[in-house]
Structure 1
Amino acid sequence: MANTDNKDMFASYTEDSIRSLDWREHIRLRPGMYIGKLGDGSSMDDGIYILIKEVVDNCIDEHTMGYGKQVEIKVTEHNVTVRDYGRGIPLGKVVDVVSKINTGAKYDSKAFQKSVGLNGVGTKAVNALSSYFKVQSIREGRTRIAEFERGVLSKEHKEVATSEPNGTMVTFVPDDTVFKNYRYIPEYLETQIWNYCYLNAGLTILFNGTKYISKNGLLDLLKRQTTEEELRYPIIHLRGEDIEVAITHENAYGEEYYSFVNGQHTTQGGTHLAAFREAYVKTIRDFYKKDYDATDIRASICAAVSVRVQEPVFESQTKTKLGSMTVSEGGQSMKAFVLDFLSKHLDDYLHRNPSTADALKKRIEQSERERKELAGIKKLANERAKKANLHNRKLRDCRFHLNDELSGKDKDIQEMKRRETTLFITEGDSASGSITKSRNVENQAVFSLRGKPLNCYGLTKKIVYENEEFNLLQHALNIEEGLDDLRYNNIVIATDADVDGMHIRLLLLTFFLQFFPDLVKNGHVFILETPLFRVRNKQQTIYCYDESEKQAAVKKLGGKPEITRFKGLGEISPDEFGRFIGADMKKDPIILSKDVHIQKLLEYYMGKNTQTRQEFIIGNLRYEKDLIDEETPAEA
């Protein structure tokens, strides 16, 4: 039988089996290869933000070349418009530049030696993945417009005269058949825009009418990302040719980095960040003439590093990790370049600022003491965790992980799978059982809590090792030594929609903010949204996430449909649960606004019960209409 099947498969494999896709078909068939994961906008690296980035990158390259000091970005619910004041696309190539693969000006390394987009793919991907795409170029008093639908030219306007200043304007609407139920989160867009400003002195960006401009580059970035009261010494800001760094230390645990290449935010670091971390340790050791442990030197560091590299090589099309080993073709190695800069400029700075040097030394020695105090219990806890990991009933793991090495062909597909890796943290056997049975075993793992975790506010990191559950969670995430080897890109807290569930959420968020705040700051932590109601009749079932959706569903179905109120995750069957954690999963990101002081936030919500907090709770109580109807007599 097997032999017959093989013969049939051989016979069916003919010339007709071979297909050649045009550029548009390939992008739409494999969008992840070009823009990473699709997503719904709840993650800062979702595709809808990459679309904007690809268009703005071209504006930034024009600015870098000395053309155009302002970029205007307007984002409504689903419509995006980007206007720069650069030279404008040559009018005869307006259609080709956005619709012919490997077409662009950046292959001329003299014109764009240190730009971001080098392979002529970016705007073509935006065009192909948009239900509507319009490009307009204005050059020397003349303009031309071309319009597309899903990458297909729908209307090419004739070249006409104009009084508008030079530049390019792109308008697009992401295709909702590709990006389902998507939404733009303003905080993510604002962060994206600020990063452009920090890296491009003199550039003004108008975003929905608000002006963004940075005068001090990476110094402004660290000021925005840190809290002044928590800094151990003033931010060190150093600039050189093709490199800029900003460095300080806080009181938080872990290491926090912001790395950039040619204006591109490399969220996964790369050779430049590895070179910085190594060079920083060597420079500090040489300055103090003491062989401090590298972990003590970098503990609690918050730093930003930006380099400009000729013809950079990234590990994937989304350009989130640099692979280049040199700063220029046939030139100095990245490692030597960064070390030469820090060993001179950081060393000089510390000699000129003895108070900063003294504060930095105290921070390092404090980290050294804390590490030695933890050493004994850390060893015992890790031995316990190692044994538990052999038969870890708390963790149902998946096949792919964020820290897997990319190898062989199809690196873009591997990268896409890594970005989709998710760990659900849930409570109780029934809830974790439903998720485990319905999850995608390729990239979704489940960690099951036993009841409510400990409130760790005000405790030292010693508790992470003393508390078995925290220690196992730390090992499941692989974050003991920082985020470099984080195993899951998305950490999703999945609890019941009741008071106990909310309390568990707060306790877990306290754990992450207290000991691993960079997980939250880097957009890895989410809250899972699951439906509160199921409304159905014999023909249709509608799942509703709030009271208004329930009322709309009842009206739509008419008559007297069956209404089920889900009070816990365990009440949702595995078959039903699958649709809530799949492609249409709804998850709310945990976002820290720029003015949030983490320790004050935790003290307010998780510290001793204060009169102020009691008044806040009483003043913000919400009564759901359905609960009132269920629990209050009709005549009331």
Structure 2
Amino acid sequence: MKKANQYGNESISALKGADRVRKRPGVIFGSDGLDGCQHAVFEILSNSIDEAREGYGSEITVTRFADYSIEVEDHGRGIPVDFNPNEKRYNWELVFCELYAGGKYKTNDGENYEFSLGLNGLGTCATQYSSEYMDVMVRRDGTEYTLHFEKGENQTGTKTGFKKKKYDGKDTGTMIRWRPDLEVFTDISIPESYYLDVLKRQAVVNPHLKFIFRNQTETGFTTTEFCYENGITDYVAEIAEDRALTSIQSLSGERRGRDRADKPEYKVRLNCAFCFSSSVSRLEYYHNSSWLEYGGAPDKAVRSAFVYAIDAYLKQNGKYNKNESRISFQDVSDSLILVTSCFSTYTSYENQTKKAITNKFIQEAMTEFLRSGLEIYFIENKAEADKIAEQILINKRSREQAEKARLNIRKKLSGSIDVANRVQKFVDCRTRDVSRRELYIVEGDSALGSCKQGRDSEFQAIMPIRGKILNCLKADYDKIFKNDIITDLLKVLGCGVEVKSKASKDLSTFDLNNLRWNKVIICTDADVDGFQIRTLVLTMLYRLVPTLIEEGYVYIAESPLYEITCKNKSYFAFDESEKADILKELAGKKYTIQRSKGLGENEADMMWETTMNPESRRLIRVLPEDAAATSEMFDLLLGENLSGRKEYIAENGWQYLEFADIS
């Protein structure tokens, strides 16, 4: 009998000290991968930003070293690290070794920080615990303090836990250098792009504050600086460039309130800059300097306020057509460049990674703040308000037209092929057993006739291509789906389409289980026109239903190049080598050679024997790499790369002289 695992009082244990972070980094940083490692950097940077925003220091330097260690230096007041008589412990223990401790909590003297990025007292300690090493240098009170930690433990080597010496300079501040530990994080190779993105965002929401980024390379250090004197207003101007439809509006204000009647009152400072554009859009939300990737309360407020204010203006000024539907936020956001930067003395984040906030009062205060700001703006700037109204209505009506067109396309591509929904000149087969059904895609009406007569109507269907199919490589989806040849072919296939464009993603209805065929066979003449049509069909399948190629459903039917007749018997050669072999066999006999005619001119028995009979035909299965190579070559020969095309023709044109129509 298997012994049961014991689960008693002694089974419960608690992580202590550094293990609280080192063994569960995802709890604090949201991930034990690169995202978590990056968040640790942001926690240290946040403390320096909080100091600068309180008026202590105007410059922060971040250095990325080649070994992936990081250094953050500020010119704030300097972290207190000496003995704390209230707590009867050294402050370095509280800051670097105690979770939920620090200067962000209320003291007897009031708030150390009115608006703080790092609220929870976790960041500095958690980062220290998760580091291979951390070196700290603090200058304050005429003294320079240094500390050294390794894997969560103070290894400075002194009784006090720090070394100190007299410092005569007037500058104060903190410099922290650490290397994230690969025993904690699975990846510590934070890319340069992360630092550039974060520091730029922080410069945007902290006016006048300069951020200096130093990146160590093989040849030394490169330096990049970020500073926005007017904060989010300058940033909106940078995004809009010269493409703004209206002037840039800046709104700011303060509100006090509470999330619930029994919750404490807190203060929120609201800042917003925006303009409208017909060609660019961007929405970004920040709270206490932290970029809210997922938005939360500010995003909900912006959606509500802008739709309400613009809809009211449209109604009041008779801009809507009779019985026209109301605008949506999508219509507004398509032309809106907006950045908000708010600060509050109390914040509810969705989690420690601070990517969204959930404060009910902030959402309500911001909604009212934006509504009233927009109302005043529209009254004082009638000409701009009219421009905005016209652009939003253009967006709305274009969206509705596009949606209607997409619905029509979806309807066109779906449904069974019957009397009410048939495809012109498509000839179906009798069997409903998909494992046997074959679809021949043939070139033109003449080929349709000979294939129809030469096929086995039990399991072989014919779909003629009327004229040259659209080049699907470069065409946009709207143009593609207006092409009857393509939509008819997709309808016959029955499996829908695979659309990768975000704008047209609702057209993506692909389901391989709905494919009506076991084989899709491209059958064209063995001449230049036939090759081009084959390439166009392949390109279409490669772009719109690539899974059919990947799963091996697509084939090319080889057509013979020559028919050699001897004593009422026909031999078919599919290339020059086969022709030579047949002629060698017929040496000394009388024969005639005829270059193969187009499919439409072939007799039914010849079509069956050479192209449609499963026992004697030659099919080439198209592989994904074949389709990709075809697409690339097609792009080169018929795309926009003029110089590449000239170069290719110069190098390879001689190989195709026999096909050239030169007289």
TM range (shorter): 0.5 to 0.7
* Aligned counterpart for 1:312 among listed residues 334, 347, 356: 347
Three-state SS of the structure 2 residue aligned to 1:147 is strand
The residue aligned with 2:45 is 56
Q: Report what 1:222 is aligned to.
A: 236
Q: Which amino acid aligns with 1:207?
A: F
Can you give the 5+ residue segments of structure 2 that lack an aligned partner in the other structure? 83-90, 215-222, 255-268, 321-325, 417-470, 491-495, 509-538, 545-622, 626-634, 649-663
Listed as ranges, the matches of 1:401-420 within 5 Å are none
* Counterparts of residues 212-361 of structure 1 (less than 5 Å): 212-226=226-240, 228-229=242-243, 231-241=244-254, 242-251=269-278, 256-289=282-315, 292-294=326-328, 295-327=330-362, 334-335=363-364, 337-361=365-389
Q: State the TM-score, normalized to the length of structure 1.
A: 0.58
Listed as ranges, the gaps of 5+ residues in structure 1 are 41-45, 328-333, 389-452, 481-502, 509-567, 571-603, 619-636
How far residue 120 of structure 1 moved from its aligned partner, in angstroms, is 0.8
Contact 1:464/1:470, CA 8 A, preserved across alignment: no
> Structure 2 CA distance, aligned partners of 1:606 and 1:286?
54
Residue in structure 1 matching 2:402, options 357, 363, 374 = 374
Matches within 5 A, 1:425-436: none
Q: In structure 2, what is the equivalent of residue 71 of structure 1?
A: 60
Does structure 2 conserve the Cα–Cα contact (< 8 Å) formed by 1:85 and 1:167?
A: yes
Q: CA deviation at 1:310?
A: 2.1
Conservation of the 8 A alpha-carbon contact between 2:499 and 2:505: no
> Which of residues 19, 24, 31 is equivalent to 2:13?
19
Name the CA distance, whole Å, in 1 between partners of 2:240 and 2:543: 23
* Partner SS, residue 307 of structure 1: strand
In the alignment, structure 1 residue 35 sits paired with structure 2 residue 41: no
Question: Which one of the candidate residues 89, 96, 102 is aligned to 2:100?
Answer: 102
Alpha-carbon distance in 1 for matches of 2:644, 2:382: 43
C-alpha spacing 1:277/1:51, structure 2 compared with 1 (3 Å) = same
2:4 pairs, out of 5, 8, 17, with: 8
Find the aligned partners of 2:177 and 2:166 in 1 and give their Cα distance. Answer: 21
Range 370-379 or range 232-241, more displaced = 232-241
Give the aligned partner of residue 149 of structure 1.
150
Equivalent residue number for residue 122 of structure 1: 123
1:195-210 correspondence to structure 2 within 5 Å? 195-208=201-214, 209-210=223-224
**Partner Cα separation in structure 2 for residue 359 and residue 380 of structure 1:** 32
Question: What's the CA shift for 1:611?
Answer: 4.1
RCO higher in structure (CA 8 A, sep ≥6): 1
Residues in 1 aligned to 2:295 and 2:390: alpha-carbon distance in whole angstroms: 28
Distance 1:283 1:125 in 2: 45
Query: Is the 8 Å Cα contact of residues 348 and 358 (structure 2) preserved in structure 1?
Result: yes
**1:289 is paired with a residue of what secondary structure?**
helix
The alpha carbon displacement at 1:213 in A equals: 0.7
**Which residue identity is paired with 2:407?**
K
Alpha-carbon distance in 2 for matches of 1:280, 1:471? 32
Correspondence list, 1:151-170, <5 A: 151-155=152-156, 156-164=161-169, 165-170=171-176
Question: 1-side partners of 2:359 and 2:479: how far apart?
Answer: 37
Q: Does 1:80 align with 2:70?
A: yes
SS in 2 for 1:351: helix
CA separation of 1:283/1:141 partners in 2, compared to 1, >3 Å: closer, same or farther?
A: same
Deviation at 1:262, TM superposition (A): 0.8
Counterpart of 1:186?
192
1:134 counterpart = 2:135 = yes
Q: CA deviation at 1:367?
A: 1.1
1:478-531 deviation per Cα after TM superposition (whole angstroms, max 9, x unaligned) = 999xxxxxxxxxxxxxxxxxxxxxx99x989xxxxxxxxxxxxxxxxxxxxxxx
> Partner letter of residue 325 of structure 1?
K
Q: Distance in 2 between matches of 1:347 and 1:122?
A: 41
Taking every aligned residue pair, what percent have the same amino acid on both sides? 23
AA of the residue aligned to 2:168: S
User: Distance in 2 between the 1:76 and 1:569 partners?
Assistant: 43
Alpha-carbon distance in structure 2 between the residues aligned to 1:237 and 1:35: 34
> For residues 378 and 190 of structure 1, what CA distance do their matches in structure 2 show?
40
Evaluate the alpha carbon distance shift between residue 129 and residue 238 of structure 1 in structure 2; reply closer, same or farther with a 3 A threshold: same
Residue 52 to residue 361, structure 1, CA distance change in 2 (3 Å): same
Task: Give the alignment of 1:481-520 within 5 angstroms.
Answer: none
**Alignment correspondent of 1:177:** 183
Alignment of 1:476-555 (within 5 A): none
- Asked whether the equivalents of residues 251 and 300 of structure 1 are also in contact (C-alpha less than 8 Å), the reply is yes
Cα 1:459–1:122 shift into 2, 3 Å: same
Give RMSD over aligned pairs. 3.9
CA 1:126–1:75: 2 relative to 1, 3 Å: same
Tell me, yes or no, if the aligned pair for 1:94 and 1:137 is still in contact at 8 Å: no
Structure 1 position 612, deviation (Å)? 6.6
1:90-143: CA deviation from partner (whole Å, max 9, x where unpaired): 131123201111111111162223212111111112112211112222112112
Tell me by how many angstroms 1:383 deviates: 7.3
Helix, strand or coil: the match of 1:184?
coil
Asked if 2 retains the 8 angstrom alpha-carbon contact of 1:457 and 1:606, the reply is no
Give 1:463 shift: 6.1
* CA shift for structure 1 position 375: 3.2
Aligned pairs, number:
418
> Structure 1 residues 90, 472: CA separation in 2 closer, same or farther (over 3 Å shift)?
closer
Give, as a single letter, the amino acid of the residue that structure 2 aligns with 1:82.
V
CA distance in 2, matches of 1:606, 1:179: 49
TM-score by length of 2: 0.56
Is the Cα–Cα contact under 8 Å of residues 91 and 139 in structure 1 kept in the other structure?
A: no
Select 1:609's aligned residue among 613, 621, 640. Answer: 640
3-state SS of paired residue (2:132): strand
- List per-residue Cα deviations over 1:181-212 (Å, max 9, x = no partner): 54332232112101111111121111113322
Amino acid at match of 2:74: D
| Residue type at the aligned position of 2:4 | D
Contact 1:283–1:347 (8 Å) recurs in 2:
yes
